Amino acid sequence: MSTLNQTAQALVAQGKGILAADESTRTIAKRFEKIGVTSNPDSNLAYRKMLFMTPGIEQFISGVILYDETIRQEIDSQSVPAYLQSKGILPGIKVDQGIVEMVTIGLDGLQDRLTEYKNLGAKFAKWRAVITIDEEDAHIEENAESLARYAALCQEQDIVPIVEPEVLMDGSHDLEKCKEVTTKVLRIVFEKLKEHKVALEGMLLKPNMIISGKDAQVQASAKEVAKATIDTLKEVVPVEVPGIVFLSGGQTPDQATENLKELNLIGGPWQLSFSYGRALQEETLAAWAGKDENIPAAQKAFLERAQKVSEARSV
Ligand code: 13P
């Protein structure tokens, strides 16, 4: 088995999934604002340390996606990646540099940054492209091309690329529309991955589920979401891809858990796992509220949610 395939398989090992803790400086500041905490490198680390140090979390979490700031920080005099590895958790890194006019940027100098991240301990990476329904056609091609170039650069250095083309849930569209756009997007992404000779067995796909728009009057049930999602993926995702790690994208923790359970009840030729940010963190963030005395309760909330999501994989 190649190193890439080995890492990809480890990330989607039975009962485990990925914690996305790679919020950008701006995003974490927004999340902290809601709980009355000022974001700075120290408070960001205090919060993330609490997540990573949660006793027992390694039973449910195979990997953590870090932000550039965090991969350079320390826990107990160890680098954050070394600390995670000591718990049996693989460190990963977000390498895109955000979105400008609906196109994700970050290819400039990426090769050198990947070398640096590899030396810092990163075993896998993430690049997120965003597609808005109704404006989808404008930038799919360009975003897909960048995703493929990023993935190829990662694999040159034995870093597993997580390829994330996210069709946003914003809007009042129905399930069918989400299915149509997601199918189109994924088809183009896999064409580009092929063009750039990305090894499918050494990558993971991080897609949105097929769900109704956030503002749609009729919200599809978890069973409908699961069926539409599996149908879509079967049409466009090659079986060589070892795992699909869904994003939560604004679903509540319960929705993201229930939908993952229904997806696994249907099943597919790939591991069906998670790479959740908000759905794993929402409850723990609220319980913490920036206070040291709340850490035990916040860690309990995090462990409980991680266990529920993990169990949703093992139905
Ligand atoms: P959400 O689960 O909050 O969508 O975050 C996952 C992620 O990493 C987005 O890039």
Q: What is the pLDDT of residues 226-246, one digit of tens each?
A: 999 999 999 999 999 999 999
- Model confidence band, residue 1 (pLDDT cutoffs 50, 70, 90): low
Q: What pLDDT score was predicted for residue 138?
A: 80
The gap from C-alpha 176 to its chain's centroid, in whole angstroms, comes to 24
Q: In one letter, which amino acid is 297? A: A
Cα distance between residue 205 and residue 151, in whole Å: 11
C-beta separation of 112 from 75 below 8 A: no
The first and second tokens of residue 203, run together, are 């990558």
Instruction: Decide if pLDDT at 145 tops 70.
Output: yes
Work out the burial of residue 219: count CB atoms within 10 Å of its CB; fewer than 13 is exposed, 13-18 middle, 19 or more buried. middle
| 6 CA from centroid of ligand 1 (Å) | 24
Predicted confidence (pLDDT) per residue in 87-102, tens digit: 999 999 999 999 999 9
Q: pTM value?
A: 0.98
Provide the 10 A C-beta neighbour count for residue 55: 10
- Model confidence band, residue 137 (pLDDT cutoffs 50, 70, 90): confident
Annotated catalytic residue within 23, 69, 145, 164: 164
| All domains of the chain in start order, with CATH | 2-313 (3.20.20.70)
Annotated catalytic residue within 16, 206, 261, 308: 206
* Ligand 1 site, residue 20, Cβ cutoff 6 A: yes
The first and second tokens of residue 75, run together, are 């826990």
- Model confidence band, residue 136 (pLDDT cutoffs 50, 70, 90): confident
